[in-house]
Every structure is written in structure tokens, then in C-alpha cells.
């Protein structure tokens, strides 16, 4: 795969990609090609990762092209000024049309995460809104206020409506290597350009599963 075809924005300081589902950002234990491999093959330079997306998650991914740019974007992430918006197709429907999930997370076994016991874990907050409801699934907009690993996936599971496709946290469990795709898409990101200060919004076209016939 040539990632040049998946560039959403490019300048001397950064690139924004529409990450394909099914590719780990870094090498994993499957031996499959990673996004890092594809990036160097496509652009002839090593990626300077600013953040990551789960292997099965598609959509907007920021990549710095200079150390200075990476440091500034990571500072914005640390301050919480970078706004991320995800699309999620879930099983069932939440009890409320919109709400906030404020539940700390902690690491569990075998790369999984879980809702932490009282007094433990790290702060994890996700806003959500239902934008479509079908017979067995619903389409949600999710806005994470913190950036924990698997945050949206675990929060939706705790809400009683896990991702429609998720081998770790969904209703149909299995080996992630057998179905590495998730119904989770990094749809929009807003940030301040690290060089000129312009407020930018980058949008990755929604995947096919997000265009389902929902009311």
C-alpha cells in the first residue's frame, strides 16, 4: 500500500494520514507489515509519531516531520487542546442519546484494559452522542477528553453497547489477529499548526460501515 494516496494534509512540518484499518502503527508480534514500514516505503523518511491509533482503528493520524513539530504537537496533546472526534458503530444503543463517561481505566491481562476499582486507575473521560439508530446497531460520535489506550472501546463496553466489531471488548470475542478491524474511525482532529499557529481541522471521510441505513 502506498500511503501517498492517503495523505489528508502535508507541509514541511507535518503530514496527516487517513490510516487504514488493520495496520499497527508500530511492528507487532504478527510479523505483518506495520504503518511504520509503509510510511518509510511511501515517503522515504522515518515517521515521527505524535500519537497512535489502535491497529483496527482507521482515520486521522498526525505525523510530525521535524522534532520541533513533534514536541509542540505532543505539548498540545498534553494540555488537552487537540480535539479528537470519532465515529463508532456499536451493538445496541446507549440508555441516553448523549452523555459523558467518566470512569478511570487500569491495565488488565494480555493487553486488555478495564474499568478501575474505586481509588485506582487513571482519569478517563469520553463524551458521546447518538446520531443514528438501527435494528441492532447505533452510530455514535465520541469525543475523548483524555487519551488512554483502548479508552473509547472500554467505555462503550461499560455503557452496555460495545463496538459492533471488536474481538477484545465486543459481544463476539475472538483472536484480534483473525479480525483486526474495528468499527471505530478517527473522523476529525482540530489542532494549532505548530509553525504558524493556524487553527486547523482535518477530516477523514467516514468508512462504509458509518453510512448504514440508520434513523
Q: Which domains does the chain have, with CATH numbers?
A: 3-207 (3.30.2350.10)
User: 36 exposed, middle or buried (CB, 10 Å; 0-12, 13-18, 19+)?
Assistant: middle
| 176 pLDDT higher than 70 | no
List the beta bridge partners of residue 98.
Answer: 129
Instruction: Give the three-class secondary structure for 51.
Output: coil
For residue 111, the model assigns a pLDDT of 79
The more confident residue out of 169 and 28 is 169
Residue 69: the pLDDT is 97
pLDDT at residue number 72: 97
- Give the three-state DSSP class for 87: strand
Instruction: Verify whether residue 213 is a known catalytic residue.
Output: no
Catalytic residue among 28, 37, 54, 166: 54
What is the mean pLDDT of the segment spanning 121-129?
97
Q: What pTM does this model have?
A: 0.93
Neighbours of 154 (CB within 10 A): 25
Contact 193, 168 (CB under 8 A): no
- pLDDT value at position 20? 95
Counted residue by residue, the chain has a size of 215
Write the pLDDT tens digit of every residue in 141-170. Answer: 999 999 999 999 999 999 999 999 999 999
- pLDDT value of residue 1: 85
Largest CA distance in the chain: 49
User: What's 122's DSSP letter?
Assistant: B
Amino acid at each position: 500500500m502506498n500511503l501517498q494516496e492517503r495523505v489528508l494534509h502535508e507541509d514541511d512540518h507535518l503530514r496527516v494520514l487517513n490510516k487504514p484499518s488493520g495496520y499497527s502503527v508500530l511492528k507487532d508480534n504478527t510479523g505483518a507489515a506495520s504503518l511504520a514500514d509503509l510510511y518509510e516505503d511511501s515517503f522515504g523518511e522515518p515517521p515521527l509519531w505524535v500519537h497512535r491509533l489502535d491497529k483496527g482503528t482507521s482515520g486521522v493520524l498526525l505525523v510530525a516531520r521535524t522534532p520541533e513539530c513533534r514536541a509542540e504537537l505532543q505539548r498540545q496533546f498534553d494540555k488537552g487542546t487537540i480535539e479528537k472526534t470519532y465515529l463508532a458503530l456499536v451493538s445496541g444503543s446507549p440508555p441516553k442519546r448523549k452523555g459523558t463517561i467518566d470512569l478511570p481505566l487500569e491495565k488488565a491481562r494480555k493487553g486488555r484494559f478495564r474499568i478501575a476499582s474505586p481509588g485506582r486507575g487513571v482519569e478517563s473521560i469520553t463524551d458521546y452522542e447518538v446520531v443514528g439508530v438501527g435494528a441492532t446497531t447505533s452510530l455514535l460520535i465520541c469525543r475523548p477528553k483524555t487519551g488512554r489506550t483502548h479508552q473509547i472501546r472500554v467505555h462503550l463496553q461499560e455503557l452496555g453497547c460495545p463496538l459492533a466489531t471488536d474481538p477484545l471488548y465486543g459481544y463476539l470475542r475472538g483472536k484480534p489477529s483473525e479480525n483486526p478491524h474495528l468499527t471505530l474511525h478517527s473522523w476529525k482532529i482540530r489542532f494549532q499548526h505548530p509553525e504558524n499557529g493556524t487553527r486547523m481541522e482535518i477530516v477523514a471521510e467516514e468508512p462504509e460501515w458509518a453510512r448504514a441505513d440508520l434513523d
